[in-house]
Each structure stands twice: as structure tokens, then as C-alpha cells.
Chain A
């Protein structure tokens, strides 16, 4: 009995110590001194937050990226994580091409088509082979990445910008996957299909705007 009591006290002390060390760690992170920037930088490519804002700045991008997450959730494992891994990597490749100045025709049309196609597959609850789904997602990711790459002015610190950009893209996919969790219920499946239809309709509007 006494031994149990001692063990319990030890456990409590250990938990308290863990909480204190976590508190100290977060306090240290919050108070971490940042380097003073002696110069202001032009353009928007100046840091993490501007990078994080970029993917969410256009509805066409947002809908397509969320649709990737929705489709992944419909397809289940391993597509649920293969698609959101494929998209940022290929999108970054497209972004690299854009930054390097490589021309790609029909960017806006490609982005609109991505919303139509991804919305359509979610609406139809299409279940192709994994590699085909990854190729489809990757193909459209190039357009999204290229658009971002060409729109960016040269900035002082591309790395922090890129970190923000990729994390924001991943978060959009995660949002799609989280919404897609309703797929386990019959009503949720219907809602997801409706959402896919909505994305496709929005894609048609984007296409109309791109062609106008």
C-alpha cells in the first residue's frame, strides 16, 4: 500500500516536471530573439506569413486543393495521404518552373480545368487506380504551382516564404481530408458528392472568366 502511494507520488512529480519543462520550452520559443532586420525589403516575398497567405489568396486555388483532400478521403488509404503528398511536390516543381521563367501556356485555363476535373471526380466518387489519381492530381498541380511562381516578385528570403507556402498548401489539403471524414456516413457521402459538384460548377465559372 505504502509502495503504491510512493509510486503515485513519483508519477505526480514526474508529470509536474514534464508540464514545467514544456512550459519553459514554449516560453523559450516565444521569447526567442529574432535578428534585427537592418533593411526593409521590397515586394511581398519577405517571409513566412506572406508565403502562407499566397495559396489562400485565390478561390480557384483553394477549391482545387480542398477537392484533392476530399477525393483522398473518398478513396481512403493510401490515396488519402499519397494525393496530398503528390500535389505540393509537383506544385513546387511548377513553382520552380515559374520562378525560372519557363513559359507554360493556358495557366488560368488549366487551373479552372483542375477545379472542374477534381470537383467532377469527387461528385462521381471516382475510384481509379492510385497511380492514375496521382498523375491527374500532379498534372493540375503544375498549373497551380506555375501560377504562384510567376506571380512572385523576387524577395529577400525565399526560404521562409516557401516554407509558409508549402505549409499553407498542406493545411488546405488537410482541411479537405478533415471535411472528407464525413464520408463514413451515408448522408456525409451525399454531402461530399454535392460539394464536389459545387467545386466543378465553380470551375466552370473560373473557366468562363479565363476565356472571357
Chain B
């Protein structure tokens, strides 16, 4: 019951997400809350996070604990680096490729080394964070927004990976693997879109 509510909630948040936007949504509560809402409103960012937490959750509590801290930290570091280093963010195909890899690894459900999952969390966090940071550095209260994004990521990854780490039923693991395969499929289509539009 608890797991189905959590899975339904994640699904609803994914569906509730609005199109990707160049700027933070104005929640009316200030930049921290704008940042807090940001990952839920930008599926480009949310999708790899979900894939990563599925992967971490399947690998167990130890892996989940590492990812819960590695992902927001790397994301925050990426955002901070983008505010200091004025470089263009990575090409879209790179984030698509990351999503494909994360989804495929979750779908395969093999005993991947914890270091690999944590490394991928760091790479995904830094890549997406760098993309976010370029926009946030230019706005007032950008630092608070960054803290908001990192907090949201911590909560999402802690809740998802924590719930998944407790899964014992075979069908539940299969459902997570199917979700991973869908994310990989979405990543493949996104890769096609990015190639088509020359990004």
C-alpha cells in the first residue's frame, strides 16, 4: 500500500511536470522555494534523477545512502562551478546519453558496483547542475535557488531510494526495472530529437 502510494506519487509528479523552461518558476515564496520546485517542473532534470534513484534503490540501502548525498552535492558543485566558470553547458545529447545509461542499468538490475552508481550520480549531478547554474548565476538570489534545488534533490532521492531499498517482492522489483526501461526508451527518443534539432 505504502509503496504503491509512493510510486503513484512519483508518476503524478512526472505527469504534472510542465515543459522545460529557461528560467525558474516564480512560486511567490522567494528564490529558495523557486529552486525547491524547479526539479519537479523540469522533466529534463527530473528524469535522470528518478532513473538514478531507481538504480540506487535496487542496489540496496548502502548504495542509496551514498547517492542521497552524492547527487545533491555534485549538483550543487556543478551549479556553483557554472556561476564562476563561464563556459557553455554540455550538449543535449550528453544528458540524453546519461539518461539512457541510468535507465538501462536500472532495467538490467545487475549487482553493479556501488562506486559505479555513485560515480554516475556525481557525473549526472555535475552535468545537470552546470546547466542549471548558468541560468541561476544571472538572477538575484541565485544562491538560495541553488540551495533549494539541492534540497529538493536530496528529498526526492532519499524518499525514492529509501522506499525502493526496502522492496522485497519480486513483482515490485520487476515494476522498477520496467520503469527503468521506459526511462531508457525516453532517453533514446530524446537523443533522436536532439540529433534532429542539431543540439
Contact = CB atoms under 8 A, between A and B. Distances in A.
A160 B16 CA distance: 10
Nearest to B195: A100
A158 B190 contact: yes
Which secondary structure dominates chain A's binding surface?
helix
Nearest to B104: A89
Contacts of B182: 88, 166-167, 170
A22 B5 contact: yes
Interface string B98-116: 0000001001000000000
B43 A33 contact: no
A159 interface: yes
B177 A85 contact: yes
A165 B189 contact: yes
B188 A95 contact: yes
Contacts of A170: 178, 182
Contacts of A93: 188
- Between A95, A154, A165, the greatest number of chain B beta carbons within 10 A of the residue's beta carbon is seen for A95
B120 interface: no
B140 interface: no
Contacts of B89: none
A35 to B, nearest CB: 5
Interface stretch (B6-14, B62-70, B77-85): B6-14
B166 interface: no
A185 interface: no
A101 interface: yes
A96 interface: yes
Nearest to B177: A85
A35 B18 contact: yes
Interface in B27-76: 27, 40-41, 43-44, 47
Interface stretch (A4-12, A24-32, A106-114, A193-201): A24-32
B2 to A, nearest CB: 9
Interface in A74-92: 81, 84-85, 88-89, 91-92
Interface of B: 5, 9, 12-21, 25, 27, 40-41, 43-44, 47, 104, 107, 174, 177-178, 181-182, 184-197
21 contacts: A22-B5, A29-B9, A29-B12, A32-B40, A35-B21, A35-B25, A35-B41, A85-B178, A89-B181, A89-B185, A92-B185, A93-B188, A95-B188, A95-B192, A97-B192, A159-B186, A161-B189, A162-B189, A163-B186, A170-B178, A170-B182
Given A96-B188, A156-B19, 9 more contacts: A25-B9, A34-B18, A81-B178, A88-B182, A92-B184, A93-B188, A99-B192, A158-B193, A160-B43
